[in-house]
Amino acid sequence: MTETQPNQNRTLPDRDAPIGVFDSGVGGLTVVREIIRQIPNEKIIYFGDTARVPYGNKSQETVTRFSEQIVRFLRTFQVKTIVAACNTVSAYAMEALERDIDIPILGVVKPGAKTAVSATRNGRIGVIATEATIGSQIYTKYITELNQNVSIYGKACPLFVPLVEEGLLEDPVTDEIARRYLTELIDIDIDTLILGCTHYPLIRSTLGRIMGERVTLVNPAYETARKLRELLTGRNLLCETPPGLGSNRYQFYVSDKADKFVRFANSIIKYGILSAKTVNIETY
């Protein structure tokens, strides 16, 4: 669009602005990984709320309050858009966040719902997510809007986030717990499973092994990054300049335990994250 609208050069500074991404902890890094793959020129400011993780067993009011603090923090960086890379936030807080903001804000639920509807052949879609996301029925709502003939089976898996945050990505305990959570979805004969929490792609191989080859696993992170690219392109906000060397392209902030976060982040994003800064998010 730049070529056809040369007079809109005043939007250029916005294009170079970073994208804000946040999650309750490390899960949102799976979305960051997809954003880096699909739109590698972008700068990213990431915030993980490691002092208050997990969100998935907390109330809508609390999750909304926490999210609003984080959005206020991210806006101090003049971000051009914000991605709530957390299904619980996307399920509970999107309306409140959208109401108060004048830049685009994207959740991960709608993109995931859309991909699942395209993927299913037998019309039986499973959703695994936190207690909060399942309780909100948000996936059921969006999927039904897209196709009324699809049946959706939700299953809360409250222990997956603690297991992932503890780094037990390939572990017999995770396997055992996953088996227990997934058995009923296998019995119901779903053919598509939405990984409805950004932590879950990190145990994707375990989930895939248990569900079997017939079941398509949907990772909303991929579709979210695609939608983000679309949105930025549509608004002439896509960064077209490859970042220079040493340009501090990705910045990571957490509310606690920066060292542990960095170790974990480096295992997810093969980029060489050197540091994360700690922020007292309660003051925002």
Burial 219-237 (b: 16+ CB within 10 A, else e): bbbbbbbbbbeeebeebeb
Report, as residue numbers or ranges, the catalytic residues: 86, 197
Burial 129-153 (b: 16+ CB within 10 A, else e): bbebbbbbebbbebbbeeeeebebb
The site map against a second copy for 146-175 (x = CB under 8 A) is: ------------xx--xx-xx-----xx--
**SS3 of residue 47 by DSSP:** strand
Task: Give which of 60, 46, 126, 48 is closest to 91, Cα–Cα.
Answer: 60
68 binds a second copy (CB under 8 A): no
Among 116, 250, 255, 273, the residue binding a second copy under the rule CB under 8 A is: 255
256 binds a second copy (CB under 8 A): yes
**Shortest distance, position 52 Cβ to a second copy, whole Å:** 5
Among 75, 141, 204, 257, the residue binding a second copy under the rule CB under 8 A is: 257
Task: Give which of 28, 152, 18, 37 is closest to 90, Cα–Cα.
Answer: 28
57 binds a second copy (CB under 8 A): yes
User: 51 or 119: whose CB is closer to a second copy?
Assistant: 51
Q: Which residues in the 176-235 window bind a second copy by CB under 8 A? A: 176-177, 180
User: 111 or 196: whose CB is closer to a second copy?
Assistant: 196
Q: Write out the DSSP string of 170-238.
A: S-HHHHHHHHHHHHHHHHTT-SEEEE-STTGGGGHHHHHHHH-TTSEEE-HHHHHHHHHHHHHHHTT--
User: 52 or 124: whose CB is closer to a second copy?
Assistant: 52
Considering only 4-12, 55-63, 83-91, 102-110, which stretch makes contact with a second copy by CB under 8 A? 55-63
Element housing 160 (H / E): helix 160-165
**Shortest distance, position 241 Cβ to a second copy, whole Å:** 38
Among 16, 51, 151, 269, the residue binding a second copy under the rule CB under 8 A is: 51
User: 180 or 263: whose CB is closer to a second copy?
Assistant: 180
Q: Please give the residue ranges that form the binding site for a second copy (CB under 8 A).
A: 50-52, 57-59, 61-62, 65, 158-159, 162-163, 165-166, 172-173, 176-177, 180, 255-257, 280, 282
